[in-house]
């Protein structure tokens, strides 16, 4: 019996299904999966294809030379480098600054007064003792020295209302003062803070956040601002929301602006009509324009703008990889989602960041069968085996999904991958309608990385895939669902009081100061923005009547459907339309994976 391999080249993984075929009988033998090498749909995929074949064959009596036929998918690349285009940016000049939320501020309360060098406190005239004073304490002072000078001023009757330190000594200083003051530390650019200007310092109690300086009217009260000036300081107040400590000062020359960056317009060309969407209006406007132009033929960005630059980078990357001219590259789909992105506050005192509105965009390049044929020819030459390009991924996924026990046409499938979300529906007569959309697991990871301000995409991937917990003692943790788990042996001190994610039973600390609740919220919202949004629009496009309610059964396949919460999010969303959804179990053994590879084998066997 001939030995056939079906190979699904994905954005993240390359999967193989091996089978022997004879007549109408197909006997599956083994499966394999490895990480995809290179960008999907390029010649670099060949190394991963060979590795996946070798892995699948390793447990069988056959070798690469025994393969009679290989069938690969039509791989439409999805650019994994999703653009995050900022809509607004807060700019604070050198004469206006905001506090940075250190983890070790001292004291509590609010202090309003003039800034003064610590050494100059001794020279404050008696007539000005009652004025509020906020000493600036540089790194040339030891904390004991600073405390002695502060206490000496307090004993003389100087009204010291707060302190700003460069070193990480806030708690040490506060614990030795004769009076409880709000003390902010870790101000790395202290030398840029001017003296003799009115400032406000607020430190919240442990577990609390600032309330007065995160309120525009609170700042206006302290500085006596006019309504026009109050409107101008809104960006400062917004940047301080959620901080444990805050500092605001404003000189007469100070200026705060919230300006719009020319994010640009996206120009969408469809078969029947064209439209343009302004990125600055957010993701909803972009996706409405996309829906109105379906089916989309090409997407371009306005020249000289962020949107234009992003989409031209997509074309440039694909032109380089495929060898085609940039003008020949067509973008067939785009997913836009609203998000937030941390931007450095210009003029801040310690590298502060402010969360700004942004739009995340994932783009998909139109599939090039000639490029896939070139990959097939190169692979055939290397393995001395017949290699053919199979059908559209979604169609192959339907064939694979039908091997799930209990499944039969008519039904729809959702193939949730790393770069794309595919949907297909098969009628009782066997006709298939499919769609291939940009945006899936990679975009979720990037949203998590961006909104949490993580330095590594790998950590975002881990936070996406594994549940969280908080280590409450050396013998117990509290899971994100509220359940408490106890241990017989003490946990490692390295995870004590930290947020951790649980990977294969191991507690791995998250070296990020974000709370468990914030990480969980960002993670779930990212999955909803990408997977739920994409699944709903994909099903609408393949539904016979254009309505999701026309679909009765949906089978989830693909690597991302293995996620511990994505299937529940999609099932819940589809339940509002009366749709029954659940994970597939390809061939009764593979779970939701291997659907496309299995479908390719079945298609080759019937050819």
Q: Which CATH number do you get for residue 270?
A: 3.90.470.30
Which of 165-169, 253-257, 470-474 is least confident?
Answer: 253-257
Q: Of 330, 288, 370, 351, nearest to 75 (Cα)?
A: 370
Q: In this predicted model, which residue has the larger pLDDT, 484 or 93?
A: 484
What is the C-alpha separation between 169 and 189, in angstroms, rounded? 15
Read off the tokens for 387: 């290699």
Whether residue 286 contacts residue 94, with contact meaning beta carbons closer than 8 Å, is answered with no
Read off the tokens for 457: 């995409």
Residue 187 C-alpha from the chain's centroid: 29
Residue 176: per-residue pLDDT: 94
CA dist 346 to 104, 249, 603, Å? 23, 15, 58
Q: Of 49, 23, 26, 25, nearest to 36 (Cα)?
A: 49
| Gyration radius from the chain CA atoms | 30
The predicted model gives 308-312 an average pLDDT of 79
SS3 content of the chain, % helix, strand, coil (to 5): 35, 30, 35
Q: Was 461 annotated as part of a binding site?
A: yes
507-521 pLDDT, tens per residue?
999 987 788 999 999
Residue 412: per-residue pLDDT: 95
Whether residue 181 contacts residue 94, with contact meaning beta carbons closer than 8 Å, is answered with no
Query: Does 412 lie in the same domain as 398?
Result: no
Number of domains in the chain: 4
The predicted model gives 486-492 an average pLDDT of 95
Query: Does 250 lie in the same domain as 203?
Result: yes
Query: Does 460 lie in the same domain as 572?
Result: yes
Looking at the domain assignment, is residue 473 inside a domain? Answer: yes
520-577 pLDDT, tens per residue?
999 999 999 999 999 999 999 999 888 999 998 999 999 999 999 999 999 999 999 9
Check residue 532 and report its DSSP letter.
I
**Confidence band of 95 (pLDDT split at 50, 70, 90):** very low
Residue 100: per-residue pLDDT: 58
Query: Does 223 lie in the same domain as 134?
Result: yes
| Cα dihedral 394→395→400→403 (10° resolution) | 120
Domain termination residue (choose one: 344, 366, 388): 366
Looking at the domain assignment, is residue 342 inside a domain? Answer: yes
Query: Does 189 lie in the same domain as 51?
Result: no
CATH (domain of 19): 3.30.420.40
**Confidence band of 93 (pLDDT split at 50, 70, 90):** very low
Query: Does 472 lie in the same domain as 395?
Result: no
Task: Please state whether beta strands 296-301 and 133-137 pair in parallel, antiparallel, or not at all (unpaired).
Answer: unpaired
Whether residue 423 contacts residue 333, with contact meaning beta carbons closer than 8 Å, is answered with no
Q: Was 168 annotated as part of a binding site?
A: yes
Q: Was 534 annotated as part of a binding site?
A: no
Does the structure show a pLDDT above 60 at 87? Answer: no
CA dist 231 to 30, 64, 530, Å? 66, 70, 35
Residue 376: per-residue pLDDT: 92
Residue 316: per-residue pLDDT: 82
Q: Was 537 annotated as part of a binding site?
A: no
Q: Of 319, 356, 310, nearest to 92 (Cα)?
A: 356
CATH (domain of 175): 3.50.30.70
Residue 320: per-residue pLDDT: 76
Task: Please state whether beta strands 163-165 and 133-137 pair in parallel, antiparallel, or not at all (unpaired).
Answer: parallel
Q: Was 594 annotated as part of a binding site?
A: no
Query: Does 349 lie in the same domain as 333?
Result: yes
Query: Does 279 lie in the same domain as 222?
Result: no
What is the C-alpha separation between 455 and 459, in angstroms, rounded? 8
318-339 pLDDT, tens per residue?
777 667 778 888 888 889 998 8
The predicted model gives 118-123 an average pLDDT of 92
Q: Was 185 annotated as part of a binding site?
A: yes
Residue 561: per-residue pLDDT: 94
Check residue 504 and report its DSSP letter.
T
Q: Was 104 annotated as part of a binding site?
A: yes
Looking at the domain assignment, is residue 191 inside a domain? Answer: yes
| Cα dihedral 207→210→211→215 (10° resolution) | -150
Length of the chain: 607
The predicted model gives 10-21 an average pLDDT of 92
Read off the tokens for 531: 């997977």
The predicted model gives 276-295 an average pLDDT of 89
206: buried, middle or exposed (CB in 10 Å: 19+, 13-18, 0-12)? exposed
Longest CA–CA separation in the chain, Å: 104
Looking at the domain assignment, is residue 593 inside a domain? Answer: no
Q: Was 12 annotated as part of a binding site?
A: yes
450-463 pLDDT, tens per residue?
889 888 899 999 99
Residue 460: per-residue pLDDT: 95
Looking at the domain assignment, is residue 601 inside a domain? Answer: no
Helical packing angle, 441-452 and 516-527, nearest 10°: 150
Q: Was 86 annotated as part of a binding site?
A: no
Query: Does 318 lie in the same domain as 388?
Result: no
What is the C-alpha separation between 535 and 335, in angstroms, rounded? 12
Residue found under tokens 């009765």: 552
Query: Does 446 lie in the same domain as 521?
Result: yes
Does the structure show a pLDDT above 70 at 344? Answer: no
**Mean pLDDT, the chain, integer:** 86
Domain termination residue (choose one: 256, 274, 299): 256
583-597 pLDDT, tens per residue?
999 999 999 999 999
Residue found under tokens 């317009």: 265
Whether residue 598 contacts residue 17, with contact meaning beta carbons closer than 8 Å, is answered with yes
Looking at the domain assignment, is residue 506 inside a domain? Answer: yes
Residue found under tokens 């033929």: 297
Provide the 3-class DSSP secondary structure of residue 148: helix
Query: Does 59 lie in the same domain as 132?
Result: no
Query: Does 391 lie in the same domain as 410?
Result: no
Helical packing angle, 369-383 and 45-57, nearest 10°: 50
Q: Give the structural domain span for 498.
A: 406-584
Looking at the domain assignment, is residue 167 inside a domain? Answer: yes
Looking at the domain assignment, is residue 206 inside a domain? Answer: yes
Q: Of 372, 406, 378, nearest to 391 (Cα)?
A: 372
């Amino acid at each position: 019996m001939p030995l056939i391999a079906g190979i699904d080249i994905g954005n993240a993984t390359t999967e193989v299904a091996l089978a022997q075929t004879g007549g109408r009988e197909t006997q599956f033998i083994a499966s394999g999966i490895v990480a995809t090498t290179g960008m999907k749909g390029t010649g670099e995929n060949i190394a991963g294809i060979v590795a996946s074949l070798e892995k699948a064959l390793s447990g069988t009596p056959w070798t690469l030379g025994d393969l009679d036929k290989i069938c690969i998918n039509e791989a439409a690349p999805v650019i994994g480098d999703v653009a995050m285009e900022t809509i607004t940016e807060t700019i604070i000049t050198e004469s206006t600054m905001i506090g940075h939320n250190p983890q070790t501020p001292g004291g509590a309360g609010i202090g309003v007064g003039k800034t003064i060098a610590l050494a100059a406190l001794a020279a404050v005239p008696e007539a000005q003792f009652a004025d509020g004073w906020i000493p600036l304490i540089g790194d040339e002072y030891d904390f004991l020295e600073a405390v002695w000078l502060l206490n000496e001023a307090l004993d003389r009757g100087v009204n010291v209302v707060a302190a700003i330190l460069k070193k990480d000594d806030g708690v040490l200083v506060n614990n030795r003062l004769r009076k409880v003051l709000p003390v902010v530390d870790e101000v790395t650019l202290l030398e840029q803070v001017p003296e003799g200007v009115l400032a406000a310092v607020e430190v919240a109690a442990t577990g609390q956040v600032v309330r007065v300086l995160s309120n525009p009217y609170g700042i206006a009260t302290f500085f006596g601002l006019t309504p026009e000036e109050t409107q101008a300081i809104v960006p400062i107040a917004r940047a301080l929301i959620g901080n444990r400590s805050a500092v605001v000062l404003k000189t007469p020359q100070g200026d705060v602006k919230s300006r719009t960056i020319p994010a640009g317009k996206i120009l969408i060309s469809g078969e029947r009509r064209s439209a343009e969407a302004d990125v600055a209006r957010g993701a909803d406007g972009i996706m409405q324009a996309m829906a109105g132009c379906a089916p989309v033929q090409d997407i371009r960005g306005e020249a000289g703008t962020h949107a234009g630059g992003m989409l031209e980078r997509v074309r440039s990357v694909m032109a380089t990889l495929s060898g085609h001219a940039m003008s020949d590259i067509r973008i067939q789909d785009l997913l836009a989602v609203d998000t937030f992105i941390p931007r450095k506050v210009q003029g801040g005192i310690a590298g502060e960041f402010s969360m700004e509105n942004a739009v995340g965009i994932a783009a998909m390049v139109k599939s090039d069968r000639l490029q896939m044929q070139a990959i097939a020819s190169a692979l055939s030459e290397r393995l001395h085996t017949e290699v053919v390009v199979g059908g559209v991924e979604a169609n192959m996924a339907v064939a694979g999904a039908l091997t799930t026990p209990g499944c039969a046409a008519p039904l729809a499938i959702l193939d949730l991958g790393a770069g794309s979300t595919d949907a297909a529906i098969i009628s009782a007569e066997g006709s298939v309608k499919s769609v291939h959309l940009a945006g899936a697991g990679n975009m979720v990871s990037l949203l998590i990385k961006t909104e949490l301000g993580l330095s590594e995409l790998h950590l975002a991937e881990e936070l996406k895939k594994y549940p969280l917990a908080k280590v409450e003692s050396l013998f117990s943790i509290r899971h994100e669902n509220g359940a408490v788990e106890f241990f017989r042996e003490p946990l490692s001190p390295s995870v004590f009081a930290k947020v951790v994610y649980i990977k294969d039973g191991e507690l791995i600390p998250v070296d990020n100061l974000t709370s468990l609740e914030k990480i969980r919220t960002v993670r779930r919202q990212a999955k909803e923005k990408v997977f739920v949004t994409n699944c709903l629009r994909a099903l609408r496009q393949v539904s016979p009547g254009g309505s999701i309610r026309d679909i009765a059964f949906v089978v989830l396949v693909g690597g991302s459907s293995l996620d511990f919460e994505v299937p529940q999010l999609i099932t819940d969303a589809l339940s509002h339309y009366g749709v029954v959804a659940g994970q597939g179990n390809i061939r009764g053994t593979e779970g939701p994976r291997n659907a496309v590879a299995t479908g390719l084998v079945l298609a080759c066997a019937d050819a």
